[in-house]
Amino acid sequence: MALVRLPPSLAAICTSETGTDTLTIDTPAAIAGQTQETKSHAGAPIEVIVGIDYGTRFTKVAIGREGLEATIWHDAENRRLIPSVVYITAKGDVLPWPDSPPAGASKVEYLKMLLATPNDDRFGSQLPFLQGSLRAQGVKALAALFLSELIRRVRESEENKPYLKNENTRWLVNIGVPVQFYDGPEREIFQEVASVAYLWHEPRPQGGDIGSLVSAYSSVVVDKAHIDKAISAFPELAAALSEYTRDPNRPEGLYGFCDIGGGTIDGAIFRLNRGAGYPRLAIPSAAVRPLGTVAVARDLVRRAGTTLSAERQLSLSQQVDLMLFDAKQLSSDAKGSAAAVFVGHDEAMRNEVQNFVRKFVNDARLKQSANGHSFSDAISGKKIQLRIFLAGGGAESPSYRSVLQGLDPEQNSAFDGIKTVRLETVARPAGHRGEDYSRFVIALGLANSPEELEEASQFLPSRIPKKPPAPQRQSNPMITKDDL
């Protein structure tokens, strides 16, 4: 297995030395020549869209092709869930995706969460070799290297298929961002990382250590005029809901949505309107919190106040994570440390998840102008049933389902106008092949056109609050006891 050397940049040429390792970057002319040689086919290009749901633990990829339904991508080992990890050898060399990591190599996980929430201490212990200002750039560089290798492998496998072999193709890449606002700052971070990854993916990266990798990342000047047309970052919620509304059998109505991942829960209240047969989406509220299965497990271990080593805490959190999915794990370790953590602190997890859901439900309720800011039917006044669709790897977790089923509309004003809450796993649309649709709904949504995804993104709330409407006339309000 060859070590991976540092990736080339289309926008920068640099040479760096670290010990005996030398970093060389190919010239733009050389890369342009390779690109021109492989893309010399005549005729209009076939557009292929790669949708990347960059996950905390696993990354999912879907391929969208002109005139065909999107399909879930498998790697050379027939895996649909790609571990979101990189390795660093004992010598310091970075391996973005080794087929078999060498003995003694350190596995680096949770890069996505460190990109989205850089100050979250739950995941910071994964990078003891990155400190201070080096940490932020180091996380970006490692994430870009992982994504560049993923893009390279996807293109390599797809281009060898009969319908694309020897064809002129136009590749577009869409990557998901865990963000509740369409204009959130996280989107800019993921866009930068994804753009560098796209610059680095062709030709294949060649070897280097973490210091050289960070130096190369920092030196890259992204050619936006070229790259922005090829790779884009979109909110995961927008991608999931865009995919959901594509099925013509989805009925109109008001719904809830929760994508339970490893790092975050993405939640929203949305309304589907069809009008003249065309689906229209309205999203009165959206929210994202680091309350996914891995984040909760690590938080429970931290709440336990343990003074164990970082390695032991990681092992303990992995066991707690398993308990979130399988009650047998809890019973088999009934007297163990992981069970003690899980049983002793799961009430805090329940409260946080339920408060998260109540918050985005209430935000939507307060935006309903009819019938006294209520979800109840505007004409009859009857209370409605709120269907909450679950997606992501945690959608089948008995623990999360128990928490969400524990939401009692009668006990909280956030659910005013709602009589019951009904949980449903996102069902696959008619004609979709394959299982685990709910786990791949974001990747499949990201395989849609950038124009469609940008339109869906605009339905998310903005981080800049709207100004209240100007009063039609000024009046002298009465002073009440609450003003004293």
pLDDT given for residue 260 in this prediction:
94
Mean pLDDT of 425-443: 80
Residue 22 lies in a domain: no
Q: Percent of the chain, pLDDT > 70?
A: 75
Instruction: Return the higher-pLDDT residue of 227 and 147.
Output: 147
Q: Specify whether 438 is located in the same domain as 346.
A: no
pLDDT given for residue 80 in this prediction:
92
Residue 407 lies in a domain: yes
pLDDT at 36 over 60: no
Q: Specify whether 258 is located in the same domain as 298.
A: yes
Residue 404 lies in a domain: yes
pLDDT digits (tens, 9 = 90+) for 150-182: 999 999 998 888 877 777 888 999 999 999 888
Q: Which domain holds residue 242?
A: 1-10+46-249+429-464
Give 147's pLDDT tier (boundaries 50, 70, 90): very high
Give 469's pLDDT tier (boundaries 50, 70, 90): low
- At residue 444, the 3 state secondary structure works out as helix
pLDDT at 433 over 80: no
Judge if pTM exceeds 0.85.
no
Q: Specify whether 53 is located in the same domain as 130.
A: yes
Mean pLDDT of 297-305: 80
pLDDT given for residue 287 in this prediction:
93
pLDDT at 389 over 70: yes
Q: Give kind and range of the element (H or E) at residue 339.
A: helix 337-365
Give the chain's domain count: 2
CA–CA dist 411, 55 (Å, integer): 35
pLDDT given for residue 252 in this prediction:
84
pLDDT at 431 over 60: yes
The rounded mean pLDDT for the chain is: 78
Residue 143 lies in a domain: yes
CA–CA dist 9, 30 (Å, integer): 11
pLDDT at 30 over 60: no
pLDDT at 250 over 70: yes
Residue 476 lies in a domain: no
Q: Specify whether 153 is located in the same domain as 283.
A: no
Q: Specify whether 94 is located in the same domain as 153.
A: yes
Q: What is the dihedral of CA 412, 413, 414, 420, to 10 degrees?
A: 60
Nearest to 257 by CA among 388, 352, 364, 375: 388
Mean pLDDT of 449-465: 88
Contacts for 121 with CB less than 8 Å, ≥ 6 apart: 302
Least confident of 35-44, 58-67, 389-398: 35-44
Least confident of 77-86, 255-264, 311-320, 472-481: 472-481
Give 65's pLDDT tier (boundaries 50, 70, 90): confident
DSSP string, 272-293: EE-TTT--EEEEEEEEEES-SH
- C-alpha distances (whole Å) from 336 to each of 96, 180, 194, 332 are 35, 38, 42, 9
When mean pLDDT is compared over 14-28, 99-113, 224-238, 440-454, the highest value belongs to 440-454
Strand stretches in 81-130, DSSP E? 82-83, 86-88, 94-95, 106-108
Residues 281 and 459 sit within 8 Å (Cβ to Cβ): yes
DSSP class of residue 181 equals S
pLDDT given for residue 151 in this prediction:
95
In this structure, what CATH number is given to the domain that contains residue 437? 3.30.420.40
Residue 471 lies in a domain: no
Give 226's pLDDT tier (boundaries 50, 70, 90): low
Residues 375 and 418 sit within 8 Å (Cβ to Cβ): yes
Give 264's pLDDT tier (boundaries 50, 70, 90): very high
Residue 117 lies in a domain: yes
Q: Specify whether 415 is located in the same domain as 442.
A: no
- C-alpha distances (whole Å) from 402 to each of 154, 266, 320, 354, 424 are 38, 18, 16, 11, 13
pLDDT at 14 over 50: no
